[in-house]
Amino acid sequence: MSSNKKYWKSVEELKDSSIVETLKQNEFVQEIPTDEFLGDKETLESSSTSRRDFLKYVGFSTAAASLAACEGPVVKSIPYVVQPDRIIPGVANYYATTIANGFDFASVLVKTREGRPIKIENNTLAATNGHANARVNASVLDLYDNKRVQGPKKGGNAITWSDFDAETTQALNGLKDSGKQIVLLTQTYASPSTSKLVAQFSQKYGNVNHVVYDAVSESAALDAYQAIYGERGLANYDFEKAMTIVSVGADFLGDWQGGGFDAGYSKMRIPTNGKMSRHIQFESNMSLSGANADKRVPLTPSQQKQALAKLHSLLVGGSVSTDLPANIEAAVQKAASQLIKAGSNGVLVTGLQDVNAQTVALEINKKLGSKAFDPKTPIKTRQGNNKAVQTLISDMKSGKVGAIIMSGVNPMYTLPNAKDFAEGLKNTSLSVAFTSKEDETAIVVQYIAAAPHYLESWGDVQFKKGHYALMQPTIRPLFDTRQFQDALLKWNGNDVALNDYIKTTWSDSILNGGSYNKALHDGVFVNESKSILTTEEVEQDETPAGNAARALAASAKGRGVELTLYSKVGMGDGQQANNPWLQEFPDPITRTSWDNYLTVSKSDAKAWGIVNENEATGALNGSYVTLTVKGLESLTVPVIIQPGQAKGSVGLAFGYGRSSESIKPEMQTGKNAFKLYNDFNTVQNVTIELATGMHEFACVQLQNTLMGRGDIIKETTLEVFNTKDKHYWNEVPMVSLNHQETPVTSPDVDLWDSFDRSIGHHFNLSIDLNACTGCGACVIACHAENNVPVVGKEEIRRSRDLHWLRIDRYYSSEDTFAQDDAKKEGFSGLFGDNGSLGGFGELEDPADNPQVAFQPVMCQHCNHAPCETVCPVAATVHGRQGQNHMAYNRCVGTRYCANNCPYKVRRFNWFLYNGNDEFDYHMNNDLGRMVINPDVTVRSRGVMEKCSMCIQKTQKTILDAKRDGRVIKDGEFQTACSAACSNGAMNFGDINDKDSKVAKLLKDDRMYHLLESVGTKPNVQYHTKVRNIKEA
């Protein structure tokens, strides 16, 4: 049937306008300017190159090019002239050394290949600080940063070290008797030999003032400890000895007091003999510690102070007046009663930057007689003094400072009053910065003294009293650099080499007759006598009980919104901001990378008109707000609505907003929170105003709740775990076979026939959800080991991240996950109060104070893998040892496997990420590529990649055993993630070795497989999370 309807595209067409007619006739409205590139007709005709000639040339050059391409490239191979004894090409060497960059202090093993460090591993010989966190794992990439300053500079121009020496020595000598100060402004070195060098420097030049400055200060805790114990240090805690842990605002699984407490904590989180520790957390931001706590109470910083004061009065005595809300008051009461019950098995810690708060904590622990509290071996890795820094700035402004020599600090970035500092710098006659980057401070000083990376340096550290570690170079310095300590030696007129100086220092005062070579080999040395001798002598009487608590309660006056500044697991204090691994590392809590942001509670966000929304692609966008701290300039930051954030409080992370030339434009992300770090207090009163625009986040997890799918993360309570049968709390899914309920693990309901896997090795990776704190060290270790490329913020927004190993974080929708499950089970019908239609929508929404669970997910290496069956080219096949192999050279990139994977662990190379200017990260320059592991293929564009269960490592272990002709012992097999996990959450091994740890873990009651109902038979085990929720 024909229609008379007339369709028109525009009003003009309807009216039969002439424009439409013209446009119809003329496809290109504008004349294509061919003349511009062809020239006029005459020149074209007079040209000797005719069209035929042109085609001939094109044809010839194409043919020539393709012929030339058939020839293989000539590869040159250049051996050493004299091969060093220790280096065998193709064999890795390991060196024990120590990172001490002022923020992270750890004893590590460095894996080097052909003389270049490629990976950081844990030093298992170290009694303390032997665990590398995510930042330390990533620190190897900082060595190969092409933005490093490559030699000494003066006013932006390169100079020689001899000129530098001559000029600086002259300037220093000139200041000797001028009455002006010579200031050494340094990071915390905690180094015995550096202290000695500084003392000698002071002796030589007189009027030397050594100011130690921590970017993120622990000064209050240091002051409190010093007041009671007479020594500047931080109280040490061993959470392995604590059964009841109460934390008031202390993120002790993060960077609180230098970090490194998680290994001990995790040990007590694994239920053994029916017992595990109980952890109660009072905090405002959702921190790692809060996420792992059995009970988490969100409250603002000022309420935290009151709660702490109240706890003190309940535990130690005395009375304080508080005005806490009833529910919090009750929680505090319960916490106190549990601590009393625990007695010496209890411990209380606080992260409040307030001397009174810290004093109160020390008093409580003392009163409890806490076994976990160890005042005898104070932590030495934070020594900064707020007062000294403030005095220094005023001294500089008033012209009392003649010379300032900085090392390991970046005050122009980390000081809120950087302007005052810059002003003061102008009054000095000599300013030197030892730095590895031309950072914010380096560009305003006279001399940039190029400093080496710690992997190129000598040094020593005293982590804790009596616990020493040595730093040794693992590579010859890449650039013309010099250590601060070397320079001190020069200025002191000492010709001794730094390593000899350290050796002498150690032989004289540390080793106590022990072998220096052994200490250097082990990387660590413990001098027991040191720790016991001094502290007991200097222990003093405490201040009259209750004074501090009353002062604390009195100071707890919250005005307006309270901002808590914190440091992220990925970025720390921001000195590693140019590290693409860390930029792309998703924050364990928000799962957002490449940014910092204000965390705001849901109800506050609603009140202030803040929204978080997802684009059609799923990418997360968020509103901006302007933050103002009285007296400081305001900061406009994007907002993420954070479940668990205490109402009336907000959080913002340090370490972002770097802006100097030393940071690549891609990595100048976020906003500088140090600008609000007034008076070195992490808690600030702010006013918040909604700003215009929406910020684009790079968030890797879009689904935040489990939606009641309890089989992804199985969890139970300690009570149920102890009393009920495992089938009750760790149920195996049932399927129907001939109308009979059959467990899914039964071979009868399997689509596939199983292979015989009893011969040879059969690898399994076990992940204990109780021990995993979500710290993310494994994620970076996996990056380093497997050459995982960095894809950048834009690609992350498109969900094209390439992490082989991710740590999923789930929030409960109700108050607990158990209630989520119950709610889901209770759905009946589509509509109504229990209707599933609205119910699932509600389940998508995390609670105000949700339970949190972390789950590391990598390729599950299914014995009956869905990916393998759909690959059209058999690029992914199963090995006999349990690993799911991925042959990159065979893959044609159909991505069927990724679509068929129930775990979503397969990653696709959408682009060529190495040697591509579009992805200008470490793989795009020769220096950065030095970190690449030569045993693992660098993948090209268009292929799938995924966790290989570190087959290069298992193969190497096997080969070593074959060569030695021996049987492999349990523990020899490791993956990068299991080796990096210091919490004991990840264990790897051979289940055909019946005595191995993983074989036992496989039989453990808590063991389950991810999405067991799918019947994929994975080789990755998970262990049910047990929560100790009983309020004693």
User: Which residues form the interface with other proteins (CB under 8 A)?
Assistant: 70, 72, 74-83, 88-91, 756, 758-760, 875, 877, 879-881, 883, 885-890, 935-938, 948, 951-952, 955, 958-959, 961-968
Q: Are 978 and 970 in contact (CB under 8 A)?
A: no
CA dihedral in degrees (256, 404, 231, 204; nearest 10)?
Answer: 150
The span from the CA of 862 to the CA of 659, in Å, is: 46
The span from the CA of 1016 to the CA of 694, in Å, is: 42
The span from the CA of 732 to the CA of 898, in Å, is: 26
> In the numeric block, which tokens belong to residue 685?
């009163």
Nearest one of 411, 387, 417, 392 to 402, comparing CA atoms: 392
Smallest distance from other proteins to CB 12, Å:
58
Q: In the 3-class helix/strand/coil scheme, how is 226-237 assigned residue by residue?
A: HHHHCCCCEEEE
Smallest distance from other proteins to CB 783, Å:
16
> Which residue lies nearer to other proteins by CB, 773 or 786?
786
Smallest distance from other proteins to CB 992, Å:
9
> Which residue lies nearer to other proteins by CB, 73 or 513?
73
> Which residue lies nearer to other proteins by CB, 113 or 269?
113
743 burial type by CB count under 10 A (0-12 exposed, 13-18 middle, 19+ buried): middle
The span from the CA of 130 to the CA of 121, in Å, is: 9
Helix (H) or strand (E) holding 196: helix 192-205
> Which residue lies nearer to other proteins by CB, 436 or 957?
957
> Which residue lies nearer to other proteins by CB, 90 or 544?
90
Helix (H) or strand (E) holding 113: strand 105-113
> Which residue lies nearer to other proteins by CB, 355 or 875?
875
The span from the CA of 919 to the CA of 929, in Å, is: 13
Smallest distance from other proteins to CB 890, Å:
7
> Which residue lies nearer to other proteins by CB, 334 or 890?
890
Smallest distance from other proteins to CB 646, Å:
47
Q: Are 715 and 724 in contact (CB under 8 A)?
A: no
> Which residue lies nearer to other proteins by CB, 32 or 75?
75
Smallest distance from other proteins to CB 861, Å:
11
Nearest one of 677, 660, 659, 678 to 669, comparing CA atoms: 659
Smallest distance from other proteins to CB 120, Å:
21
The span from the CA of 115 to the CA of 593, in Å, is: 32
> Which residue lies nearer to other proteins by CB, 632 or 938?
938
> Which residue lies nearer to other proteins by CB, 735 or 961?
961
> Which residue lies nearer to other proteins by CB, 299 or 871?
871
Smallest distance from other proteins to CB 624, Å:
45
> Which residue lies nearer to other proteins by CB, 358 or 860?
860
Question: How far does CA 305 lie from the centroid of its chain?
Answer: 28
> Which residue lies nearer to other proteins by CB, 725 or 756?
756
The span from the CA of 729 to the CA of 1005, in Å, is: 10
In order of 136, 158, 775, the CA distances from 133 in angstroms are: 5, 36, 7
Q: Are strands 907-908 and 944-945 parallel, antiparallel or unpaired?
A: antiparallel
Residue type, 872: P
Smallest distance from other proteins to CB 69, Å:
10
The span from the CA of 726 to the CA of 746, in Å, is: 18
Q: Are 648 and 325 in contact (CB under 8 A)?
A: no
Strand partners for 244: 278, 346
> Which residue lies nearer to other proteins by CB, 158 or 887?
887
> In the numeric block, which tokens belong to residue 989?
């091994």
Smallest distance from other proteins to CB 967, Å:
6
Q: Are 600 and 639 in contact (CB under 8 A)?
A: yes
The span from the CA of 561 to the CA of 600, in Å, is: 10
User: What is the DSSP secondary-structure string of 933-983?
Assistant: -TTS----TT-EE----SHHHHHHHHHHHHHHT-PPPTT----HHHHH-SS
Smallest distance from other proteins to CB 382, Å:
42
Smallest distance from other proteins to CB 703, Å:
31
366 burial type by CB count under 10 A (0-12 exposed, 13-18 middle, 19+ buried): middle
Question: How far does CA 655 lie from the centroid of its chain?
Answer: 12
The span from the CA of 175 to the CA of 178, in Å, is: 5
> Which residue lies nearer to other proteins by CB, 12 or 935?
935
Smallest distance from other proteins to CB 516, Å:
29
